[in-house]
Structure 1
Amino acid sequence: MRKTGSALVTGASRGLGASIARRLAADGWPVAVNYLPDPGDAQRVVDGIVTNGGTAEAFRADITDEAAVDALIEQVEARLGPVAVLVPNATGPQPSKPALDVSWQDHLDQLLFFVKSPSLLMRAALPGMRRLGGGRIVQIGSEMPERAAPGMSAYAAAKAAQMSLTRTWARELGPLGVTVNLVAPGWIPVERHASVAAEHVEAYRRDVPLGRMGTPDEIADVVAFLASDGARFVTGERITVNGGYTMD
C-alpha cells in the first residue's frame, strides 16, 4: 500500500543505500534515490523498483552542500510528496591513518558526512514532516566507535558524534511526532570493498558469533522496521546489526 509522503535515502545508488531504497519501496514508500555523481547506478536502482511495482525517482545532489540539500528536498516534495522517512546514508572516503598523522582536516572530512549532512537534511525535511504530523529519521551509523580500530580515529569520532545527534534530536523532535534512531551496521562487504583481500574478510567473520558476514538486506530490514508504524514508540535508540561482533 502506498504510503503518505515519501522516503529519501541518500547515497542510494549502490551498497547499503540501494538495498534500503529497494526495501522501503517494497513497503510502499515512494522513494527518492539520491546519488552523486554518476546517474547510471541510481537509475538501475530506480528501474528495479519500478519493475517490481514500486515508485522511485533518482535525484542528483551533493548532500554536504546547504543549497543543494534545500533544492533536493524541494524537488523530492514536488515529485513524490513531503519526506516522511529520511535516511542519511551517504558517506565519503574513509582512509586509515595512524593517530599521529590525522589532521584536523581529516576530522572535518568525516564530520562533513556524519554531522553536517544529516543536520542539513533534517532541517530541510522537518517542515514537511510537521505538515504530515510526524516522520522518521533513521541514521546509518557504525560499530567503529566500539571497535576502536587503529587507524580509524577520525571516522570513529564522527560516527560517535552522529549518535549524539540522534539522541538529542530524538528529545527535541519527539513532541513533533518525529522519531530519530540509528542503525549501526557491522562490516557489510559491498561494492566499495571489492579490493579487500579475502583473508581480511575471513578474519572478521571468525569473530562474528553468528558465524557469517551480514548482508545489505539485513541492514535494510532494520531500517524498514524503524520507518514502520511498528516502531512508532521507539526513538533515541541505536540498533547494532553485526551478528554480535561487538557484544560486551
Structure 2
Amino acid sequence: MAERIALVTGAGRGLGAEIARTLAADGWTVAVNDLVEPSAQATVDAIRAQGGEAAAFAADVTDEDAVAGLVARITASLGPVTAVVANASGPQPEIPLEDLAWTDVLPHLEFFAKSPLLLAKAVLPGMKAAGGGRIVHIGSDLFERGDPGWSAYMAGKGAMLGLTRGWARELGRYGITVNLVAPGWIPVERHGTLTPEVEAGWQRQQAVQRMGIPADVAATVAFLVSDKAAFITGERIAVNGGQYLG
C-alpha cells in the first residue's frame, strides 16, 4: 500500500496505546483515537518522542456522525486511512444471568458490532481508492473459552467475529483483508497490580509460562496490517500463550 495511515481506536492507554506505538515504530503514520483528547495526546507524545508520526483525534466511535467526522478529519490532515484497528471498548462488568438485562448487553454490541461497522463503512471508500487496506478487530478468546458472568461481553465479541468473517469474503476482491486478534487475559492499567498468587494461578493454565503483555498483541496486529499478511483474511488469531486452544 502506498498510503500507510493507520487509525487505532481506544488508543489512549492499554492495548490500544501499545498497538499505536508499535505501528508507528513500523513506519505507519498513526491516527490515535480516544474518547477524550488528553488521553489520545499522551500516546501521540510517546510516539513522537521515539521519532514516529502521529496525531490525536478525539471521538466517540459508537456514534455514527462522530465516526464519519473522525475519518474525514484524519483524511484531510494525514491522508486516507488504509488500516483501521477497532480496539475501543467500554466498561466490562461481571454480571450473572439472574441479574442480566438487555441494557447490560447493548453497550457491548455498541462497541464490538456497531463501532466496527461504522468504522469499516467510513474507511472503505478510501481503501478502495488506495487499492487495498487492512481491517483488524480486537476480539477476545473468552468468546470460545467461556466464563460465568461474562455472557454479555462474549455476545459482543462473538458478533465482532461474525463481522470479521463476513467482511473478509466481501472485501478480499478489493485487496482489503479483515482479521480478528483474540487476546487472552493481558493485564493493563485498569487491572491494577497483580499478586504473585494470581499470576501463578493464571500461568498454570497456559502452555507458555508467563503473563501476556500488550506487546504480544501489538506485534500480531503489526503483522496483520503489513504487506506480509496480504494473503491472510477472515482469520481469528488467539494471543493467549496456549491458555485455550480452539
TM-score by length of 2: 0.96
Counterpart CA distance in 2 for 1:108 and 1:126 is 25
In the alignment, structure 2 segments of 5+ residues that lack a partner are none
Map 1:166-205 → 2, pairs under 5 A: 166-194=164-192, 199-205=197-203
Match of 1:148 among 146, 149, 169: 146
Counterpart CA distance in 2 for 1:50 and 1:94 is 31
2:239 corresponds to which residue?
A: 241
Could you list the per-position Cα deviations for residues 98-136 of structure 1 after superposition, in whole angstroms to 9, with x for gaps in the alignment? 112111111111100000000000000101101101100
1:32 corresponds to which residue?
A: 31
Match of 1:57 among 31, 51, 55: 55
Could you list the per-position Cα deviations for residues 127-185 of structure 1 after superposition, in whole angstroms to 9, with x for gaps in the alignment? 11011011000100001112210000000111111101000000011111100000000
**What is the one-letter code of the residue matched to 1:95?**
P
Distance 1:181 1:11, change over 3 A: same
3-state DSSP of counterpart to 1:128: helix
Q: CA RMSD in A?
A: 1.4
Q: Is the 8 Å Cα contact of residues 5 and 132 (structure 1) preserved in structure 2? A: no
1:110 corresponds to which residue?
A: 108
3-state DSSP of counterpart to 1:129: helix
3-state DSSP of counterpart to 1:4: coil
Distance 1:40 1:96, change over 3 A: same
3-state DSSP of counterpart to 1:235: coil
2:21 corresponds to which residue?
A: 22
Aligned length: 246
Percent of paired sites with the same residue: 57
2:218 corresponds to which residue?
A: 220
1:70 corresponds to which residue?
A: 68
3-state DSSP of counterpart to 1:31: strand
Could you list the per-position Cα deviations for residues 52-91 of structure 1 after superposition, in whole angstroms to 9, with x for gaps in the alignment? 1111000000000000000000001111110000000000
In the alignment, structure 1 segments of 5+ residues that lack a partner are none
Counterpart CA distance in 1 for 2:154 and 2:39 is 28
Does the alignment pair 1:82 with 2:80? Answer: yes
1:100 corresponds to which residue?
A: 98
Q: Is the 8 Å Cα contact of residues 3 and 28 (structure 1) preserved in structure 2? A: no
Counterpart CA distance in 1 for 2:91 and 2:194 is 15
3-state DSSP of counterpart to 1:28: coil
Q: Is the 8 Å Cα contact of residues 5 and 80 (structure 1) preserved in structure 2? A: no
Q: Is the 8 Å Cα contact of residues 3 and 30 (structure 1) preserved in structure 2? A: no
Match of 2:157 among 152, 159, 162: 159
